[in-house]
Amino acid sequence: MLGVSRFAQVRDGIRSSDPRQQSKIKDAALYAEQSKISVTLVNEDTQILFDQLPRGIDYEEAADDGKTGGCYRAETAMTDEKATEKPTQDMPETNKDAIRSKTATYEVLEILGKGAFGSVFRVNRLEDNKQLAMKCESCKAEKQILKHEAKVFKCMSKLNSPHFISLEDRGKVSGRFMFLILRLVGKNLWDLRHENPDRKFSMSTSIRAAEQTVAGIRDLHTCGYIHRDIKPTNFVIGREQDGDLHTIFIIDFGLSRRYRTIDKDLRYQREKVAFRGTTRYASVSALEMKEQSRKDDIESWWYMVLEWMIGKLPWRHYKNFKIIKSCERDEVRQRKRELREPGNLMTLLMDTPQTYMANILLYIDTLEYASIPDYNHIAAQLSASMKFSVALHINGMLSFWAFKELIRNFFEIGVFGLLVVILLMHKSLGSSAVDLLAHTVNNKAE
């Protein structure tokens, strides 16, 4: 197993004796340099595969047979630069190819994203003129990730979740590529957050997004799968023309894994596994190369929500503000452990609903591999934080949302709540009033 963060290093110091493996590593090194992407070679006995996403590219073997698969993990630098690799010759050509499945014909309109072994296109279904997304994967890819994703979509179709997108069709162009047809969706939550000048969502938006994303994770777990790569780019909003602009969908199941057998028994916990996920959001256990479970998805979700609320995670940089790379997982893991210390946690959560965010993390830390997360408990904490948090916005002024929430709950918070509003408008209390108000209401309820 190698732990190399830059493919230039891999290229200059090939460790594999297999000529085919050497060739793949060299090709990937060249691709990485041209695309300004840093790549970690985690296991030699696997493929090179990059997802179609232009940012936050991570891909690993997602074998469904329970064996430990290797992976190549690619992660773009934390900028808005897009990968510029040449499209593979196997992929369909826009405005030329008509792709046929057993049930429909699709006109390829434009490319939405591309990678070394796969691309995503906007297509038009000729039978009803409906525009959809076509996700393609080269037949030359040694591990067929789309086959795995198709299995996940099949299981998801049995659960009527508002947070799943449907698999419309699938097929294969012999010798070239296989494809999945999916409905079109809107922007992902990473891009939406970066559209804000301060790189964070408002408190109300953060909480509402947290409610929907944890519901999507819960529904995926209900289907018997864990995601293993929970992060903002893997959640997207709907489209206004489809009437679901405010719905959040969970996507990209290339790293997902069944955590239970067909008989719904919990799968055996392997002692040592290859790392899967994204370092920034990965759970402590995942960073320790331990088998992931439902608990790890929820922990990654918590880090994601925290980033929405405060704008930047404390382990994004380390050592003179150097951007973290995959080989620095030990440093990130240590920072996440240090976060749990009482003083550190409450300080970091100062501009969030402290009590509720801390409660959720402390609850997550009680979970084990076999634990079934109490999603209702987490949802209740989020609901309480929305109900009693006072969001401060630009210049410290009380937001319209916060004022509306306080008025709506006046009979629960009473005169004291209005006093907090007045003090906040005069910038006397700061965000600590959130917890002061919450504790007061909770005490009155008891």
How does pLDDT run across 303-360, given as a tens digit for each residue?
Answer: 999 999 999 999 875 554 445 555 578 889 999 999 998 889 999 998 899 899 999 9
Mean pLDDT of the region 266-277: 92
Return all residues near 441 (Cβ < 8 A) that are at least 6 apart.
Answer: 388, 412, 413, 417
From residue 183, alpha-carbon distances to 101, 106, 166, 168 in Å are: 16, 13, 7, 7
From residue 102, alpha-carbon distances to 106, 136, 139, 174, 240 in Å are: 11, 16, 18, 13, 30
- Say yes or no: do domains 98-182 and 189-389 share a fold: no
Among 195-209, 218-232, 358-372, the minimum mean pLDDT is found in: 195-209
Q: What pLDDT score was predicted for residue 137?
A: 92
Q: What pLDDT score was predicted for residue 271?
A: 87
Among 165-174, 267-276, 412-421, the minimum mean pLDDT is found in: 412-421
Residue closest to 279 by CA, chosen among 226, 318, 249: 318
Q: Is 229 a catalytic residue?
A: yes
Structure tokens at 392: 């401060």
- Check: CB of residue 84 under 8 Å from CB of residue 34: yes
Structure tokens at 365: 């830390």
- Assigned CATH topology for domain 98-182: Phosphorylase Kinase; domain 1 (3.30.200)
154 is in an annotated binding site: no
Where do the structural domains in the chain lie, given as residue ranges?
7-76, 98-182, 189-389, 390-446
DSSP E strands: which ranges in 289-421? 317-318, 322-323
Among 22-26, 113-117, 359-363, the minimum mean pLDDT is found in: 22-26
Q: φ, ψ for residue 395 (rounded to 5)? A: 65, 20
- Residue 226 to residue 371: CA distance in whole angstroms: 13
**Which pTM was predicted?**
0.71
CATH class (in words) of the domain with range 189-389: mainly alpha
Write down the catalytic residue from 58, 90, 229, 296.
229
